[in-house]
Amino acid sequence: MENFKLEIDAEGIALITFDVPGRSMNTITASVLEELGELAHTLKTDAAIKGAIIQSGKASGFCAGADLGEMGSGSLAGGAAPQDADAALKAGFERAFALNKALRAIETCGKPVACALEGLALGGGLEIALCCHYRVIADNPKIKLGLPEAKVGLLPGAGGTQRLPRLIGAQNALMMILQGEEKNPSEAKGLGFVHELVPAGETLAAARRWLAAKPKAVAPWDEKGFKIPGGGPFTPGGAMTFIGGNAFLSKQSYGNYPAQKHIMSAVYEGLQVPIDAALRIESRYFFKTLQTPQARGMIRTLFLSMQALAKGGNRPKGHAPYEINKVSVLGAGMMGAGIAYVQAMAGIETVLIDRDQASAEKGKGYAKDILDKRVSRGRMSQGAADKVLALITPTADYALVKGSDLVVEAVFENRELKAEVTKLAEAQLAQTAVFGSNTSTLPITGLAEASARPKNFIGIHFFSPVDKMGLVEIILGKETSEETLAKSIYYVLKIKKTPITVNDSRGFYTSRCFGTYVTEGAHMLAEGIKPAIIENVGKMTGMPRAPLEMSDDVALDLAWKVRSQARADLGSAYKETPVDGLLANMVEKLGRYGRKNGKGYYEYPSDGSKKKIWPGLSDLVAVKISECPPELRDEYKKRLLYIQALETARCFEEGVITSPRDADVGSILAWGFAPYTGGTVSLMDLMGIAKFVAECDVLAQKYGPRFTPPALLRDMAAKGETFYGRFADNKAAA
């Protein structure tokens, strides 16, 4: 075996060390799966073996679960369509069942098997541990145990949905599995899915002690009279779990995530039958889930692409690593303060500049507040927090910029001011340093005109709140060099964010596409659709917030300002829509700017009680549609999602974005585009471009030319292409 080392000692204890060659972390590959089967056979048939201990040979932990890269290429690549659908289904099931079969064989090998965990066990890794008769774990609160499959649209397919509820009850298990929650060792012991906690480095000795006591080699569920903790589905407690669980799920996810429904079903059905049948039920649901576009999209975007981007997958090749030790941030407002904090957390010496010392200090105060919270919650020591804070130097003196490897400019959104601070900072900078602007709307090429070194000038667009948002949109100006891009990506990775790269354009990629969602909500309102319908349908699409409430958050006066600017720029080419009239009324006539002045599409009671849709809206636009049968609901959902995907397609057509991977990841991380779709590009690719185009044509007929598919999409539809195929930067992950 290449992945497991097996040594049998004088007492007949087989020490099995899991150590996948050439990897820093164990994952379950096809070859691991095969060898688990071999191991089970050896344990059962080798008379010299009296008991066994499974441990990891990696310092990084026990096992992080299935190799999603391999699983992805095996089942996502598409391949030739199966000739015989029945045979293909059977073969698929057998593949899905193979790991369950191997682990069940270990569980029933007739010899006691312990698992000694010195580090993390996630997904399939925890499922291996769960098939052992005894689990002992190092008492280190940093160790993570969990079944995170649901986070990538999958369900635990190696016994997790069956063994965990049989150990800790259906309710606890469902909470863990549906949300992909991780537990630390003492929580796991408390819940009852590990048996013993010992100091780090002593798990092996503890496992030996357990074996020395000649334990039974049988899982609790294989013993006569076994009862599910908290009761099975037909006991009063168990029934409540499933009734409440289904209601909770519908409220949370509106049925958008097949994996979640399948997890509920697998647990519900599986707990009614003996474990062997239960494992087959689980494998059926696992295979069914794997076939869904949601699982394909989510695995690709939320796992494979995210992982590739975190490793610098979109960094141009051939540029030496750029050491980022010191970075100056210009502007200590909301964004600058957040950027200074994340930099200091990454160990970067940070100069935080504002117009005067007091404003700069205030910006540093933001970092102090977050750090104080971390300390008070026990997530950081005071000493460590002090060290982070000491890395930020607040000042009004541009001389301190000297020696910076990079500058992030985050002053007011004003072209002249930005030009002025660019010059002030550049006067202090080395020729090799990068100047990044965090502008949210001003084209980078224009801002670079103020720079003496436009090659080093780039857009580094953060999202608010900076400490929570994982994405950074990097924008290339016309003259930005490849080297500057490479350096900027080193910077973004150093502060532990995910970079995507786009070309210069008004609104860049993220703001431009996201904007279509809130605008579509306004179109619907202007058409006379009852606001509550718009909001409910919006939530059903899987977007994090409904369109009208999102409009209020972004601010209606800002939307009006952007429109007015566009009208001024485009002159007679500007096409008025009913949304212009609506916004003019709201902003100009009624002074309703959104959440920021407590008056928008919603009203925000001053006593802090829950916001309500503003009743005056119906006077402004008469309600014409106050019923929403399912066909209409589905059509509205499409409007709200497709409009964003269409804008993404236009961005590809115009060369604003060129990478499907960046577009998908960006759409989910920047504006929370319905994650189950895998992103704006995967939505189109996985339903098929031809079908998407046909449905958009129908919407265009009914709702207007903004739904007319661009020529690029028609061409792709005619050729049967996908984005991941046509713009193939992402072959490895596709």
**60 binding ligand NAI? (CB under 6 A):** no
Using the 8-state DSSP alphabet, how is residue 152 labeled?
G
**359 binding ligand NAI? (CB under 6 A):** yes
**613 binding ligand NAI? (CB under 6 A):** no
Angle at 484 between CA 479 and CA 485, to 5 degrees: 95
Checking phi first, is residue 293 left (phi over 0); if not, alpha (psi -120 to 50) or beta?
alpha
The beta-strand segments (E) located in 165-298 are: 182-183, 196-198
Q: Given candidates 90, 214, 311, 355, which one binds ligand NAI under the rule CB under 6 A?
A: 355
| Closest to ligand NAI by CB, 75 or 451 | 451
Query: Torsions phi, psi of 63, nearest 5?
Result: -170, 135
* Bridge partner list, 352: 329, 394
Dihedral through CA 361, CA 366, CA 372, CA 377, nearest 10? 180
**332 binding ligand NAI? (CB under 6 A):** yes
Which helix (DSSP H) or strand (DSSP E) does residue 239 occupy? Answer: helix 236-253
**502 binding ligand NAI? (CB under 6 A):** no
How far lies 385's CA from each of 341, 371, 391, 492, 494, in Å? Answer: 11, 6, 10, 22, 19
Token pair for residue 279? 């494992």
Q: Given candidates 42, 395, 428, 438, which one binds ligand NAI under the rule CB under 6 A?
A: 438
Give the list of residues 6+ apart from residue 202 with CB closer than 8 angstroms, or none. 138
461 is catalytic: yes
Q: Given candidates 354, 426, 473, 647, which one binds ligand NAI under the rule CB under 6 A?
A: 354
Taking CB positions, which residue lies at the least distance from ligand NAI? 333
Q: Which stretch binds ligand NAI (CB under 6 A): 119-127, 251-259, 407-415, 487-495?
A: 407-415
Token pair for residue 595? 């959440």
**421 binding ligand NAI? (CB under 6 A):** yes
Counting every residue written for the chain, the total comes to 734
Token pair for residue 666? 């960006």
Applying CB under 6 A, what is the total number of residues that bind ligand NAI? 23
3-state class (DSSP) for residue 435: strand
**350 binding ligand NAI? (CB under 6 A):** no
| Closest to ligand NAI by CB, 53 or 410 | 410
Q: Which stretch binds ligand NAI (CB under 6 A): 94-102, 304-312, 434-442, 657-665?
A: 434-442
Closest CA to 651 of 571, 558, 723, 730: 723
| Closest to ligand NAI by CB, 410 or 524 | 410
| Closest to ligand NAI by CB, 289 or 551 | 551
**458 binding ligand NAI? (CB under 6 A):** no
Q: Given candidates 462, 508, 614, 692, which one binds ligand NAI under the rule CB under 6 A?
A: 462
| Closest to ligand NAI by CB, 220 or 465 | 465
Q: How far apart are CA 678 and CA 661, in angstroms?
A: 10
The beta-strand segments (E) located in 529-637 are: 602-603, 612-613
| Closest to ligand NAI by CB, 361 or 721 | 361
Q: How far apart are CA 447 and CA 426, in angstroms?
A: 13
Q: Given candidates 11, 94, 323, 413, which one binds ligand NAI under the rule CB under 6 A?
A: 413
Q: Given candidates 331, 499, 542, 600, which one binds ligand NAI under the rule CB under 6 A?
A: 331
Q: Do 322 and 487 meet the contact criterion of CB atoms below 8 Å apart?
A: yes
**555 binding ligand NAI? (CB under 6 A):** no
Q: Do 13 and 208 meet the contact criterion of CB atoms below 8 Å apart?
A: yes
Q: Given candidates 247, 412, 427, 585, which one binds ligand NAI under the rule CB under 6 A?
A: 412
**228 binding ligand NAI? (CB under 6 A):** no
Determine which one of 133, 262, 461, 523 is catalytic: 461
| Closest to ligand NAI by CB, 326 or 523 | 326
Q: Given candidates 336, 394, 660, 675, which one binds ligand NAI under the rule CB under 6 A?
A: 336
Least separation in angstroms between CB 340 and ligand NAI: 11
Closest CA to 127 of 161, 166, 167: 161
Q: Which stretch binds ligand NAI (CB under 6 A): 108-116, 216-224, 460-468, 474-482?
A: 460-468
Q: Do 554 and 527 meet the contact criterion of CB atoms below 8 Å apart?
A: no
Closest CA to 3 of 91, 118, 102: 102
| Closest to ligand NAI by CB, 411 or 651 | 411
Q: Given candidates 145, 410, 525, 657, which one binds ligand NAI under the rule CB under 6 A?
A: 410
Active site residues: 461
Contact residues: ligand NAI, CB under 6 A = 330-336, 353-355, 359, 410-413, 417, 421, 438-440, 461-462, 464
